[in-house]
Structures are given as C-alpha cells and as structure tokens.
Amino acid sequence: MDFSKERLLASGFTERELQILQNNIDSFGGTMEEVIRDLAKRFKIFLWVFFCSLAFFLFLIYSKHDDLLYVFSGGVSLLIAVLIIALIQPPIISYKSWRFCRVGNN
C-alpha cells in the first residue's frame, strides 16, 4: 500500500493532520506507514471496547436488578470509560487511518 502524502490527502487527511503525524514521527521516530497502521489498530481496539461496553449496558438494563440507580450509575461509569479511551488517542485521525487501511487492503 502506498503511504505517500498525496495518497493520504486524497483519502481525507488534512494537511494539518499530516503535519501532526510528521511531528510525532520526528519526535519519536518511525515511518508514516507505522504510524498510520498503529492508529488504525487503536481505532479497532476502541470499537471493541465501545461494543463490549454497549453489551454490558444492555445486560444492566435487562438484568433482574430493579434498582434504577444501579443501571444509571453503571451507564454513567461505562460512558466515562469509553470517553477516556476515545480521548487518549486522536479519534478523528485514528478513524481516518482505519478507513485508509481498510480501503487500501481491498
């Protein structure tokens, strides 16, 4: 797969996002391909966490526990956990990386 700047721009990345990625490469080393693939993996992990949290919340709703506070507090804690996981990575750039890798493999 071609990880050139032109191809990344054509797939939806902005010049500013590519500059952020390049600054990261300059600071910590690596290649553009490694950075894009790592961000795509992080987005897949985020999707797994999100859907597992959603399944657990549905379990909370349909459990035999009649206490509404139990369901509400569980939902809020799951929401906070998902938000923390989403915001420890650049969510838009990781989504674009995932989409770039997914479309590029077809």
Q: Dump the DSSP string for 24-67.
A: HHHHH---HHHHHHHHHHHHHHHHHHHHHHHHHHHHHHHSS---
Instruction: Encode pLDDT of 9-35 as tens digits.
Output: 999 999 999 999 999 999 999 999 999
pLDDT of residue 67: 80
Beta carbons of 80 and 48 less than 8 angstroms apart: no
Could you tell me the pTM of the whole model? 0.84
The domain spans of the chain are 5-105
**pLDDT by 10s per residue, the chain, length 106:** 678 889 999 999 999 999 999 999 999 999 999 999 999 999 999 999 999 999 999 998 888 777 888 889 999 999 999 999 999 988 999 999 999 998 865 4
